[in-house]
Amino acid sequence: MEMPPYTTRGYLWMRTLGSLIVWGTNAVLALLLWGDVIANTFPDTENYFRYLALLTDLPWQWKVIITLVVNAVLFVEVSFRAVRKRERQRDEYRMKLQQIEQARPRIVPNEPDAEYVEPVHIQAIGNITNVVSFIKVRFVNTPTGLLSPNSVAHDVRAKVRFLEPTPGGRLLLAIEGRWADSDQPSIRDWRQHRNDLLKMEFGIEEEHSLDIAFRDDQTGEFYAFNNDNYTYPQMKKPEHLLAGQHFLVRISLSGPLVDETFEFLFANDSIGTKIMRPLSLPRRRHG
């Protein structure tokens, strides 16, 4: 679907010269005004054109003036119709665009408490498990317009960035996000591709959580988390270790008809087990 082009002089002339109304009217006008010429050329038609003597006997100057005036009126009328048609096409185009925009997926944090902390048992040594505090964010697909197949979000990927919580804060780490509902890489055959684990489908009103990071409540260590962590003991990838107490997390969601960015702030305190307190910040939404 393409936006109809703007109306130009060339377009109006093309529509006018190609109009059957213009050609038909001029043909009738020629018969009415110049019937005497036709009668002189074809004498058998003289009986027909004698009824038009009021027009055919006019001086040629008046015939030219009448022809010009009629064609000027025709040009204005045909141009008006062409412009009105083009405007109607553009209005229909804008309406279709608006319908597509409203029917597209709308993935937003699933409030209240979209950001939450969840205790998770992970294997430490042998059969011993360790409880860690996972911070996650819930998202839900809530289209605002008429529902259609385009309202379902396909192949949604997440990019998670950790920044210093200051204006123009330094980027600490950027990782591919992991959807909590996806398979664990450890249960996949090593010969299988794992790119599909980065993508998630959001049906209408469907919710999925995104893993952000976890804290080892015994050591106080804080790690960003995604599929790469599964290949390390206790899921502690050294490059994902985050030093500090406060972090700004920027989550960018992308996919067909999806382009959203959200931010939130959380604190990693040194007291207690539920040390992460999500602090909502204004979120930016694109698309």
pLDDT in tens, the chain (287 residues): 455 566 676 766 677 777 787 788 878 877 777 777 766 677 766 666 666 677 677 787 887 888 888 888 888 888 888 888 888 888 888 887 777 777 788 899 998 888 888 888 876 666 677 788 888 999 999 988 778 888 899 999 999 999 988 888 899 999 999 998 887 665 555 545 556 678 999 999 999 999 999 988 888 888 999 988 888 888 899 999 998 888 889 999 999 889 999 988 887 765 533 334 444 444 444 44
In this structure, are strands 207-216 and 178-179 parallel, antiparallel, or unpaired? antiparallel
Predicted confidence (pLDDT) per residue in 115-125, tens digit: 888 888 876 66
Q: How far apart are CA 203 and CA 147, in angstroms?
A: 11
Number of Cβ atoms within 10 Å of the Cβ of 274: 13
Q: According to the model, what pLDDT value does residue 44 have?
A: 67
In eight-state DSSP terms, residue 151 is G
Predicted confidence (pLDDT) per residue in 167-213, tens digit: 888 999 999 999 988 876 655 555 455 566 789 999 999 999 999 99
Tell me: do 24 and 90 sit in the same domain.
yes
- Which residue among 81, 103, 125 closes a domain? 103
Is 158 a member of any domain?
Answer: yes
In eight-state DSSP terms, residue 153 is E
∠ CA 116-250-122, nearest 5°, is 45
Pair of tokens at residue 287: 């698309």
Which residue range forms the structural domain that includes residue 150? 107-280
Tell me: do 41 and 95 sit in the same domain.
yes
**Residue where the block lists tokens 């980065």:** 198
276 with 256: CB under 8 angstroms?
Answer: no
How many structural domains does the chain have?
Answer: 2
